[in-house]
Amino acid sequence: MAGAETIVLRRADQPQAHRPTLERLKREAASSGRPLEEVVKRYATRVAATSSPKPTNFEGHDPAVTDPDVTIDGIPYAELVDLGTVARSEGISYEEAIDRFGSQSSNSRVIDKLRAEFPDEIAGVRYVDHQPGLRVGFKGPIPPRAIELARTLPMEVTLIGGKGFSAAELRRTQNAVVSRLRSRPEVATMMTHSDEETGHVKVTLQPKVMPDDAEEFTRGLQLPQPENPHITVEVTLSAEPVAVLPR
């Protein structure tokens, strides 16, 4: 990547998540010997029942009790329920799941701002290492405003500038390739994937008849050339179906 630059905002220098209620509930769970997940549910149920009571519906079922519609320290209770599932699937404690993944909603708002403010510059946003960190790429230099937004995230953020392409350009290239392949009668099925890390659009397709010369077959498809020379299209042929080809 010509002109590439990298800025790493270390986790130790980023803001800490402020969760006074959850910290109190952690202490309550520790002193009572009850699981934190249970203590959080009991708290959410009490808040839902007292702050925004809902009418009882069929057979005495009260949705405020079984599905509390509340937010704790900025985290929707539904998300806290999901974090219990994450904890079990990852083999970690509920406390660790909250610490690692509990800022998803607020993080998403910052990520949405980045995408909205730099639609032609963002070259990809992705979590790394099960979300302790975030990588944000840019087509050109890293905008100062992007650094400002990234400094509000409670995690390590790696900003990479000078990638030479944007995610929007990558999507346009992929869409153009898909549109062309849909019109080609010699294509049976296909699957495409764009890699925001490398700028590659990868195509796997199944011809109706496998050719003797794969390169000649690919040239015959007359795929559109990317508008940006930093984006490449890679085609792999498969004798087996790879996906349903929409028409």
> What digits encode the pLDDT tens for the residues 155-190?
899 999 999 999 999 999 999 999 999 999 999 999
- The answer to which of 6-10, 34-38, 58-62 has the lowest mean pLDDT is 58-62
Exposed (0-12), middle (13-18) or buried (19+): which is 39, by Cβ within 10 Å? buried
49, 65 contact by CB (below 8 A): yes
* 67 — pLDDT class (breaks 50, 70, 90): low
Cα angle: 169, vertex 174, 178; to 5 degrees: 150
Ramachandran class of 60: left when φ > 0, alpha when ψ lies in -120 to 50, beta otherwise:
left
Ramachandran class of 234: left when φ > 0, alpha when ψ lies in -120 to 50, beta otherwise:
beta
Distance between CA atoms of 158 and 132, rounded to whole angstroms?
11
Nearest by Cα to 170 from 211, 227, 101, 131: 227
For 189-213, what is each residue's pLDDT tens digit? Answer: 999 999 999 999 999 999 999 999 9
pTM of the model: 0.74
Average pLDDT over residues 13-19: 87
> Is residue 60's pLDDT more than 70?
no
The pair of three-digit structure tokens given for residue 60, joined into one six-digit string: 């005495």
132, 11 contact by CB (below 8 A): yes
Question: What percentage of the chain carries pLDDT values higher than 70?
Answer: 89
Residue 174, classed as helix, strand or coil, is helix
